[in-house]
Structure formats: structure tokens, C-alpha cells
């Protein structure tokens, strides 16, 4: 991730880095894996732990860029949301579009949603 990258750039870097683990030829394996995990509480718990580790890594990388705690935690949370959403869409896609297509579409949706958040409140005093 490039130093000083805008928030969307940070999320894109995360999605692209993880995307190498989801090549199109492994889609059927990913579908089967997700099905098995969904049926097993211990595997779901393991996935949550892996997600927490990934969030921690993203948060650390963002902090190394000089961003504060809130920005780092916010971007780490958004990264997990984007990854999970893109993956779910990819394995459920009847048209077989690539993980990357779903990842970039998800990122675009997140950027739109974030842009609709109200700006900082004016400080009184």
C-alpha cells in the first residue's frame, strides 16, 4: 500500500492483495469450502479468528502510514466488509464473473456509501 494513499486506495490494495487467493479456476473449490464452513461452528470460529488477524494487519499497515486510531480501525473494518461481500458475491455469481470484478464493484459501492456520510460537525467554542 502506497504511503499517503487515499482511503479507497488502501481498500483497493487490500482487495487486490487478497484477490490473488481467489483465481477463477478455484471458484468451485471456494464454493465447496464456504459450504463446509457454514455447516461447522468450529470452522466458522476459525474464520472469524483469521478475519480478526487480517483486520489487525490492515490496521497496523494503515497506522504505519501515519493515520490515527479511528482511521486505521475504520479502514480495517471496511476492508473486512469489502472482502467478505466480494467473496460472497463471487461464489454465488451464476454468471461466473471474476473475484476482481466483484471486489472492484464492492469497493465502488462502499465509496458511494461513505460519501453519503455527513461531514464533520462544526466545532463550537
Q: For residue 1, tell me if it sits in a domain.
A: no
Residue, of 6 and 42, whose pLDDT is higher: 42
pTM of the model: 0.85
Please write the tens of the pLDDT for every residue from 66-109.
999 999 999 999 999 999 999 999 999 999 999 999 999 999 99
Domain count, the chain: 1
Please report, for the domain that includes residue 56, its CATH number. Answer: 1.10.357.10
Residue 119 lies in a domain: no
C-alpha angle with apex 25: 105 to 45, nearest 5 degrees?
70
Nearest partner of 84 among 43, 35, 48, 45, judged by Cα: 48
Instruction: Give me the pLDDT at residue 118, please.
Output: 86
DSSP state of 61: H
Amino acid at each position: 500500500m502506497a504511503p499517503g494513499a487515499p482511503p479507497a486506495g488502501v481498500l483497493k490494495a487490500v482487495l487486490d492483495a487478497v484477490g490473488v487467493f481467489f483465481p477463477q479456476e478455484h471458484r468451485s473449490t471456494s464454493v465447496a469450502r464456504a459450504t463446509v464452513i457454514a455447516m461447522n461452528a468450529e470452522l466458522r470460529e476459525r474464520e472469524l479468528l483469521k478475519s480478526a488477524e487480517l483486520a489487525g494487519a490492515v490496521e497496523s499497515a494503515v497506522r504505519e502510514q501515519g493515520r490515527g486510531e479511528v482511521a486505521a480501525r475504520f479502514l480495517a473494518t471496511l476492508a473486512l466488509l469489502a472482502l467478505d461481500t466480494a467473496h460472497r458475491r463471487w461464489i454465488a455469481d451464476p454468471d461466473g464473473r471474476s473475484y476482481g470484478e466483484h471486489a472492484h464493484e464492492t469497493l465502488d459501492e462502499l465509496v458511494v456509501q461513505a460519501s453519503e456520510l455527513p461531514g464533520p460537525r462544526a466545532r463550537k467554542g
